[in-house]
Structure 1
Amino acid sequence: MEAPPLDEAFAVPAAEDQLERAAKGLRERGYAVHIVDGPEDARALVSALVPVDKEVFTASSETLRTAGIAADLDESGRFRSVRAQLAELDIAAQIRMGATPDVVVGSVHAVTEDGIMVAASASGSQLASYAAGARQAIWVVGAQKVVADLDTALRRIRTYSLPREWVRLQEVYGQPSFVGKILILEREMPDRGTVILIRSEIGF
């Protein structure tokens, strides 16, 4: 099986005015928003935002891995990492812990200029915590994921995120990927969600 066609146009970081429009839209929809210059800034900010006395779940994310955020939260010993505990649990317990952590840190595949976020997943393992399961949610998002509207966001999943993840899984596990579930985040409850927009390209 071959990977789906890749649209490289979705790898281009958004301009500053697009980022500002997305930040404004997100704030109007209930999110706290930070715009930072690069991955290291996002990494430092996440470490400052995540409480050290609460359980934190890192959703599978190339953005978190590449920025070093996943390693900070799961391997440094400073935080109560859910993922660090999962290997010792059965599958049912792993799913429950990942669905209802105190804090989830992850990413999304697209953010529209009016503040809608879209996340896709094969298994859906991170989507429960994104939608409602976690008491606090933090999303770290590269500038190339900012798009004009929801139709474009959904097209980005199919023509950029999926092909990139397909290739990654083939290289790591020898198997293709697929879109199993899509979550559309239109609005957030007060004081729950934080979005960190990075001015550079990172993740899929």
Structure 2
Amino acid sequence: METTPTMETPMIANVTCLLNPPVRMGAAPPGFVRDIPQGRCGQQFHSRYRDGRRVHKAARAIERYMWDDVPRSAGDRMVNVAGQQMERPTEYSAVNLLKDAGVDAERWNRIPDEATIKRTVEAIEARNIRVIIVDTADEALQAVIDLIPGGAEVMNGYSTTLIEMGFDRVLEENPKGWRDYHAVITAENDTEKRHALRRKSVAAEYFLSGVQAIAETGEFVACDKTGSRTGAWPHAAAHLVLVSGANKIVPTLEDALRRCREYCLPLENQRAQRAYGIGSYIGKYVILDREETDGRVTLILIRQPLGY
């Protein structure tokens, strides 16, 4: 389970709640840029960032990613930066939480055989969800980079999988000139404005998220404490890009829900206690059963154990 804290409360992973109607593709959310307080964007970053994610460059990112300042043609070329990245366990990766979480990793964190992966991919695609299957985290990172066009509006929910892939470094360097919604949210020191920006962010042009469980029958399950991220899942985001290790594949939808409770939650609870000094719980679930809009949802599935 993968979460992002605010100053006020820690969160668990991916959850559901439709907060705003979709924003027109290519358009900035109303009031998004003009509401950013200039001259304050460098304050309090360390209190809202963790796991070595982008901090020191976030203030410069605000100016660099302003909607009107990024030409649409910038970065439309193929950028091969994935080869420079390595999957990298963090302090809060599963391997560093398992001992204290008391979970059954043998049951819930194994890579299925190739026949099972193939069957699962076919079931997902039958639900109108595109699948890109890769062997390594580096290949997954390159697939993400290739998928999102230059100058696009990008938001991501906190994801251990994305961090282990090296996506945070790519987002910090931003070779394709993406308009980084998360950097602007983090730069906002006013609590009310920050919450408003976070609510609008679920309607980003491209929203990236991890996954808690995938059933062999094709359903995706995500869970979260507050629901701050998976509001993008059902409808709000114009494009939803999900990344997942094959270790999250389980036989049935019921098993997927059990994986959330018996594996993801104990690990997330350990992470939350270490990071924020407070435990966590599952407040909301979202199940992605089928996608109505062609081409809206893409899963990048990695034949490696990533995230939890």
1:144-179 C-alpha deviation (Å, 9 max, x unpaired): 100100010000001111111111111211111110
Gaps of at least 5 residues in structure 2 are 1-99
CA contact (8 A) 1:120 1:179 kept: yes
Q: CA RMSD in A?
A: 1.4
| Greater share of residues in strand | 1
- Per the TM alignment, residue 67 of structure 1 is displaced from its structure 2 partner at its CA by 0.8
Select between 92-101 and 34-43 the one with higher mean Cα deviation. Answer: 92-101
Q: TM-score, normalised by structure 1?
A: 0.94
1:120-157 C-alpha deviation (Å, 9 max, x unpaired): 01111111111111000110111110010001000000
Letter in 1 for 2:144: V
CA contact (8 A) 1:52 1:80 kept: no
SS of the equivalent of 2:183 reads: helix
Q: 1:191 pairs with 286, 292, 295, which one?
A: 295
SS of the equivalent of 1:56 reads: strand
| Greater share of residues in helix | 1
SS of the equivalent of 1:72 reads: helix
- Per the TM alignment, residue 87 of structure 1 is displaced from its structure 2 partner at its CA by 2.1
Letter in 2 for 1:47: I
Output the CA distance in 1 between the equivalents of 2:120 and 2:173: 32
Gaps of at least 5 residues in structure 1 are none
Aligned positions of 1:1-204 closer than 5 A? 5-8=102-105, 9-73=107-171, 75-77=172-174, 78-89=177-188, 90-188=193-291, 189-204=293-308
* Percentage of identical aligned residues: 33
- Per the TM alignment, residue 191 of structure 1 is displaced from its structure 2 partner at its CA by 0.9
CA contact (8 A) 1:25 1:113 kept: yes
- Per the TM alignment, residue 97 of structure 1 is displaced from its structure 2 partner at its CA by 2.8
Output the CA distance in 2 between the equivalents of 1:17 and 1:164: 29
Letter in 1 for 2:215: T
Output the CA distance in 1 between the equivalents of 2:168 and 2:253: 28
Over 3 Å counting, the alpha-carbon distance change for 1:4 and 1:40 in structure 2 is closer
Structure 1: which 4+ aligned runs deviate by more than 4 Å? none
SS of the equivalent of 2:264 reads: helix
SS of the equivalent of 2:217 reads: coil
CA contact (8 A) 2:108 2:247 kept: yes
SS of the equivalent of 2:234 reads: helix
CA contact (8 A) 1:23 1:115 kept: yes
Output the CA distance in 2 between the equivalents of 1:97 and 1:7: 38
SS of the equivalent of 2:123 reads: helix
Output the CA distance in 1 between the equivalents of 2:200 and 2:152: 13
1:55-84 C-alpha deviation (Å, 9 max, x unpaired): 1111111101111123323x1233211101
